[in-house]
Amino acid sequence: MQPTAARCRICSLGEGHPGVVLDDDQVCNLCNLNVAGELLDNYRYTNQVFTEFQQAPPNPAGDHDCLFMYSGGKDSTYMLDKFVNEYGKRTLAYTFDVPFESSHAARNIQLAREKLPATFVFDSDDDNIKKMMRDVFNRPRPGKPGAYLDEKLPCVSCRTFFVIRAILYAFRERIPYIVLCADPQQILTMESNVREVVRGFYRTFGPELASELFDGAIEDVLFAEDDELPKIVFPFIALRHEYDPERMVRELKEKGLYESSPMETHCTLFPLLNYYSFKNWGCMFYKLNASSYVRAVHRNENYDRSTFSIRFPRSLDLPDVEDRLGRVVMEIAAGTGDREEHRAALVDLFMRMDATEDAAGFVAESFLDMRKVAADLGIKVG
């Protein structure tokens, strides 16, 4: 883990965090809104596509108006219910069977299949997605200072992999829209244009590996005409002022569509994602999310709800939580320290982030098994 750096006095992001620069007043570029231009461009585009999608007639080329990327998490479950029961869209619910999926997310998917009138399709490619993840985790330590989101590279790469699988499916089946339920805080992490999604993957992994992972099929997307390509719809970003995850979970549980907490639907690589962030950048995986919440509270002291999958209480001492979590994660990765002491520390930390005791215990066990998961995937830790 990297040594402690100077921190933004508002949101606590360290000056060594990828893409973060502190000014003379010790305020970071994110708190100074130096990314506002890019953010507004993304908002304009996503609003435009969402309006177009809402007004679009039934797809004349097939039986489905949209391919809906369904993960079993609270966001996609909530919006899938809206699409089929309120919006009247002929929806193909597409689930990429990620080999790192939580058992809780799998149970939510089963509930949706039993209760929602959508067409459900499952896709998988264990060998290639594991090959890609090994490439990401086993790369040499990245250079400094890094770019925005570099600390999330494994997660972003995994998500991009199955987004491209969905793009290829929609492209083949002539489905004009792909629905992706990113929450409003993820707007800077998501590419809106399908061709740029593919180009970004090429830049990250190189043409040889990119072509190998998708059997050369993504070249068809790069060279297709614009009107042949599906468009990505981000409903939660277009409806960002209505996004209230706590209300959404309550409503889903009342309908019998959700039986877990957001923390329990994390993928099983969540501990390794934290290890990657701590090892290379000295920060926890959720640092950008937590800092965004601290920033929002700083700007509006009456702000009273979280817009994140994990709630961050106002009283949370973020630097202390991050430092303690980093020490535990790196000890587990190195195979040192006492297992029960690690478990107790992890449960305490996640409960301080408003997880229930059961949810905190569930996630703590996944951290304790991190070395086994890494060995199974051929990822080097410690």
The full set of domain ranges for the chain reads 37-254, 262-377
Which residue bears the tokens 């869209």? 89
258 and 293 Cβ atoms separated by less than 8 Å = no
| 184 cis-preceded (ω within 30 degrees of 0) | no
231 and 178 Cβ atoms separated by less than 8 Å = yes
Give 255's contacts (C-beta < 8 A, 6+ positions apart). Answer: 81, 115
Q: Render pLDDT for 230-251 as a digit per residue (tens, 0 to 9).
A: 999 998 877 777 778 888 989 9
Handedness of CA 337, 338, 340, 341 (dihedral sign): negative
What are the φ/ψ torsions at residue 57 (nearest 5 degrees)?
A: -75, 170
Question: Architecture of domain 37-254 in CATH?
Answer: 3-Layer(aba) Sandwich (3.40)
Q: Render pLDDT for 247-271 as a digit per residue (tens, 0 to 9).
A: 898 999 999 999 877 666 668 899 9
What order of strands is seen across the sheet that includes strand 177-179? Answer: 119-123, 91-96, 66-69, 177-179, 231-233
Q: Render pLDDT for 181-230 as a digit per residue (tens, 0 to 9).
A: 877 666 656 778 899 999 999 999 999 999 999 999 999 999 999 999 99
Specify the pTM: 0.85
